[in-house]
Amino acid sequence: MKITNLPAAAALTGLETLPVVQDGQSRKSTLGQMVDASFGPLASALAVALGNYRPTLAEAVAQLAVGAMFASDESGALCLYRRISGAPGYALYDTALTSGLLDKRTALLPNFAAIAARRFDASVTMLTTAAHTLTGIGGAAYVSDALATADLAAAYPLLCARSLDGRYWRAITAGRVLGFEQAGVIANDTSKAAANVTALSKALAYLGTVCGGGVMLAGAGTFTFDAATIGAGGIAIPPGVTLRGVRGATILQSTDRAFTGNPLLSCNGGVAWIEELNLRGRANFSNMTGGGMRRVRIEGNLSETQYTRIAADFAGAFAAPSFQDGLGGTPAADYTWAMAGSVGTMTLSNSVSLLGNSVYYRYARSGAVPLDPTKRYVIRFLDGFYTGAGAAEPQITLYDASGNPLDAKQKLVPYAGAAVANVHKPQNDAMYVGTGAGGADEAGAWQVAYITGASSLKLAVGAFRHYSTVPGLAASFDFSKIEVLQLVNNFAAYSLSSLPTNAACIQFSACANVEMSDCVAYGVEGRVGLLFNSTNSVIHDNLVTFSTHGFADDTGDGNAIHANVIDQRFRGDDGVLRGMRPYRWKGIGGSNVTRGRYYDNRIIGASWGVEILPYGTARTNWVYGNEVWAEFAAFSLGNGRFFVANNRAHLASDGLFGFELPGSTDAAQYLHANVENNFVEWSDFSGYNGFGYSCSIYRDIKIKGGFTRAPYLVQGVSGQTGATLLIDGMDGQYGVAALLGRGPSGITANSLTFQTRWGKIEPYKVCFPYGVGASDAIIDVSISAGTGHLCSIAAERVSVGGGRYVQLTGVADMEIALREVRNPSLYRTSGPLFITTPAAEPMNLRLVGNDFIKPNSSMSTSGWCQISGTPYTGSSMLMRGNKWGQEATMAPSGTYPRSMLRGDPWLVAYKASTAIGTLAAGATLDIPISIAGLAANDQVFDLESFSAAGLDGLAWCCWSTGDDTATLRLRNITGASTNFGTQTLRITARRIA
């Protein structure tokens, strides 16, 4: 082989052939093999030695095992040593070789501080450190380029340094990634909390400003940051930077984790991300155009346990009850009370004479159940507490240590009588017993529903009856199905003036196109995530557990909150998970929003599941596909325009609203809602008021399809002229009523429309909680003022509860069409349809196709519809195709001109024991007849005798002599005096109109 002076033909690859001599023979190898064999051991030794860097040789001897390689620059030059057993404990590995490699070729340094202590040959253009601050952690590469200046070193002293030869060296990022440890951010050392704030702040700014963005990567460990050093603004993440950790292994925590504390992190403008880490602190995003947070575990400081179940012996407290007779003056003999084990039963008398009473309730009241006035309590009525029929609303009264009633800061108004000031209502979040009227502790009292300040409570249970309710109802109460829960830990300590209500752990302000996704929130106070004044942003696929709130959208446009699981339950001391009863905190909330979409969320244990208040008729929002388990209200959607569909609402036995749909008298905030195919159910009925749909001060609401099981299926109360409530095709199971179209004082507006086409509606557990001014009718609409109202009531199938079917008061235009009406044999009453005429305008009533299947035998066909009051001039009624059992229906009873009734009323009269006696040949006999509903021009067309002699030999004619009256004339046509005896007659007429 001839060696020439020619240069290499191309860059060396390590595969070039070289001659070698082994065992006295000439052999060939490659350049790469030669380098690996010669310098590989040294390179390995260098890596190990630099990882074991010690400033002094004495430290190395004391800390390292015999045989270990280490590096030290105690002599002024960085040298490699091996730890030996003999004196002095170390041996130089190779001074000249290692020094040359370190200073001129590899430029390997033990840590960042070594840069400032070393001088480098001009040929060195890059430095590599084995660590930054702590041994073996945070190694990085540094270059001396145009960006590495004195100003840069002054701005970023942990990322840029001056070597002894006068050059500046700055950290460079491999793949635009800079590690926490490379910037001097130290894990697992709380004493570095203040220094970590400075180090991370500088590193993020360096990455965003000097490097043009990239990834700020945190390794495993817990990084602590001092909240006071952070200040109000948080550690800023610049645009273009992603703060990333090792999922499940990286923890970033602030020394102040309170919901009101300074944010730990902040992003302002551009696009930035926080991802793949555990966050123990708050984060604020402002003015962003993208980015957000994903795959982050947000950890708060709430305990999983917030309840302790106390031993409350309610059954024992009823061992010697007192009794409250209530209204009506009926003596106590009209009911009985009996205890059997833990179950007490109130039974009303079965005496028919009670039907004349207007309204009354009967209560058995327990003895005192002791409480600690310094503690806070909530009460839960579990499924199965109430069975039977006719339960009144349970009453919980509160007392001080002397047995004096306490004001529960809520006013429960019975059907009649004064307010009951000391009654605690578990479902009412406007309740709080504090330091007295106007006391400091009452600030924000509207948000809570717990007992405190009381030394004892008494429970009253019983039955309630309206004037047409059937007698003999019996209501049973299982006192083992009541829980009294003491609030502990965080729930016991909150000041009402500083509840974690509106503060947010993760807040996006004035952002667009941001997202929060795939995060887990655990133990968080306040809202987990808030979109504030943001647009086209989304919160999705997150999991919230053991937290007070879920997510919110305030003043947003085009945002979406979807596919989240929000669990607001907390444990009792028995480990059982229980919903959010003491505080009105929401799974999803929002206000002043438009074009918002809130869908496919699963919310468990919320006080109020979803509450969206746009405050503007022009603002349209969509709520669909959600499933909510709520203590008090599943959905509250008002003051705007909504499309609501395919949601499922599950309420506790003392829940208040499935859907609360409130509006405003302000035309700019009218409520318009299309509500379709939703499922609403109470887990059971405990005797409290509850409304599947509560529609108030609305403009127009259309409820279509779906199923509802609630004490009241729908309540409609509007103060807006021209408001419309449409119910089309809903099936339901009620406790009190299907439709309650009234408030405590009726409705005061003009031209309201109630239009219902029910599917199948039937009773679940009949109960009559008082306090809403209702009757006992399944359909109850009461207009106390105003004119021009329309009410159309139709149903495919109706099963009656304990009272009337339909009661309409003050409505001008009415139509009732109940296609199949069933009256269970358990229940009997009078006046299935009861109409009270409007006082100041004509009434137009249409009764079409009502079919009463197998009515109770105690109810006569003449009482199927009652008209109360005198109709205004110009009123009219139409009957068409109505049936009572297998018979046609008679004209409605009441005082009204019979000529105003058109259609096909069954005009019939039975004249029993009519004494005709002996009539001479050709003689006549006039008999006065009463025919209910008969008008002056009606035609009597049939006369039948039910006697053996019959009407043979008699000719007859009959004519109307006025409303409800006629004259029957009989004439003997036998040609001889004949005794026709005493007969029972039936006279039938037809309407001529």
Nearest of 218, 187, 222, 224 to residue 203 by alpha carbon: 218
Which percentage of the chain shows pLDDT scores above 70? 85
Instruction: For residue 213, give the DSSP letter.
Output: S
Strand intervals (E) in 125-264: 126-129, 141-143, 160-162, 168-172, 177-179, 214-217, 221-225, 235-237, 241-244, 250-254
Helix, coil or strand: residue 808: strand
Contact 343, 609 (CB under 8 A): no
Task: Please name the residues in contact with 438: beta carbons below 8 A apart, sequence gap of 6 or more.
Answer: none
pLDDT at 817 over 90: yes
pLDDT of residue 12: 52
The whole-angstrom separation of Cα 650 and Cα 160 is 61
- What is the DSSP pairing of strand 577-578 with strand 570-572? antiparallel
In the predicted structure, residue 9 carries a pLDDT above the cut 70 = no
Q: How far apart are CA 901 and CA 865, in angstroms?
A: 13
Question: Which letter does DSSP use for residue 355 in this model?
Answer: G
Q: What is the mean pLDDT of the chain?
A: 86
Percent of the chain with pLDDT over 90: 57
The secondary structure of 585-639 as a DSSP string is: -EEEEEES-BS-EEES-EEEEEEEEEEEE---TT-EEEEES-EEEEEEEEEEE-S
Cα–Cα dist 778/918, whole Å: 54
Q: Around Cβ 11, how many Cβ atoms within 10 Å?
A: 5
Query: Mind listing the pLDDT tens digit for each residue in 897-951?
Result: 999 999 999 898 888 888 999 999 999 999 999 988 899 888 888 999 988 878 8
Section 36-65 average pLDDT: 74
Output 831 or 662, whichever has higher pLDDT. Answer: 662
Asked if 553 and 573 count as a contact pair (C-beta separation under 8 A), the reply is no
Helix (H, G, I), strand (E, B) or coil at 975: coil
Q: What is the pLDDT of residue 416?
A: 40
* Angle (nearest 5°) at CA 555 between 430 and 648: 60
Structural contact between residues 914 and 983, judged by C-beta atoms closer than 8 angstroms: yes
Residue 53 has pLDDT above 90, yes or no: no
Cis amide linkage into residue 88, ω under 30° from 0 = yes
Measured at the CA of 793, the angle between CA 682 and CA 884, to 5 degrees, comes to 105
pLDDT of 175 reads 79
Confidence at 744, pLDDT banded by 50, 70, 90:
low
Predicted confidence band at 229 (pLDDT cuts at 50, 70, 90)? Answer: very high
Per 3-state DSSP, what percentage of the chain is helix, strand, and coil (rounded to 5)?
A: 10, 45, 45
Query: Is pLDDT at 43 greater than 60 in this prediction?
Result: no
From 10-14, 524-528, 653-657, the region with the lowest mean pLDDT:
10-14
The answer, yes or no, to whether residue 100 has pLDDT greater than 50, is no
Residues 819, 73: Cα–Cα separation, whole Å: 100
Q: What was the pLDDT predicted at 392?
A: 87
Per-residue pLDDT, 443: 42
Q: What is the pLDDT of residue 748?
A: 66
Q: What is the pLDDT of residue 171?
A: 94
Kindly compute the dihedral angle of the four CA atoms of residues 534, 540, 543, 546, in this order, to the nearest 10 degrees. 30
0.75 cut: is pTM over it?
yes
Residue 209 has pLDDT above 80, yes or no: yes
Of 568, 632, 586, 711, nearest to 429 (Cα)?
Answer: 632
Contact 897, 964 (CB under 8 A): no
Q: Which residue did the predictor score with more confidence, 439 or 167? A: 167
Residue 2 has pLDDT above 60, yes or no: no
Q: What are phi and psi of 317, to 5 degrees?
A: -70, -15
Angle, alpha carbons 927-930-933 (nearest 5°): 145
Per-residue model confidence (pLDDT) at position 42: 59
For the chain, state the CA radius of gyration: 43
At residue 471, the pLDDT reads 77
pLDDT for 302? 95
Q: What Å distances lie between residue 24 and 21, 33, 323, CA to CA?
A: 6, 20, 120
* Mean pLDDT confidence for 823-852: 81
- Name residue 18's beta-bridge partners: 29
Pairwise CA distance, residues 822 & 851, whole Å: 9
DSSP state of 989: E
pLDDT given at position 47: 62
Mean pLDDT of all residues in 130-139? 87
Residue-wise pLDDT for 506-543, tens only, equals 999 999 999 999 999 999 999 999 999 999 999 999 99
Per-residue pLDDT tens over the stretch 74-86: 776 677 888 999 8
CB 433 within 8 A of CB 408: yes
Residue 29 has pLDDT above 80, yes or no: no
Whether residue 689 contacts residue 723, with contact meaning beta carbons closer than 8 Å, is answered with no
pLDDT in tens, 674-708: 999 999 999 999 988 899 999 988 889 999 999 99
Read off the pLDDT band of 6 (50, 70, 90): low
Give, rounded to a whole angstrom, the gap between the first and last alpha carbons of the chain: 132
667 C-beta neighbours (distance < 10 Å), count: 9
User: CA 160 to CA 156: how far, in whole Å?
Assistant: 6
Cβ atoms of 293 and 516 closer than 8 Å = yes
Q: Hey, how many other C-beta atoms are within 10 angstroms of the C-beta on 429?
A: 25
- Tokens standing for 99? 């020094």
Highest mean pLDDT: which range of 172-181, 531-540, 964-973: 531-540
Cβ 590 vs Cβ 612: under 8 Å: yes
Residues 768-800: pLDDT tens digits?
765 555 677 889 888 877 788 899 999 999 887
Q: Is residue 789 a contact partner of residue 811, using CB atoms and an 8 Å limit?
A: yes
> What integer pLDDT is reported at residue 436 of this predicted model?
41
Q: What is the pLDDT of residues 310-326, one digit of tens each?
A: 999 999 999 999 887 54
Q: Name 604's Cβ contacts closer than 8 Å, sequence gap at least 6.
A: 565, 566, 567, 568, 569, 579, 629
CA 306, 312, 314, 320 torsion: positive or negative? negative
Between 913 and 367, where is the model more confident?
A: 367
Q: What CA dihedral angle connects 232, 237, 238 and 242, to 10 degrees?
A: -170
Label residue 979 by pLDDT band (50, 70, 90).
very high
Whether the pLDDT of residue 1 is over 50: the answer is no
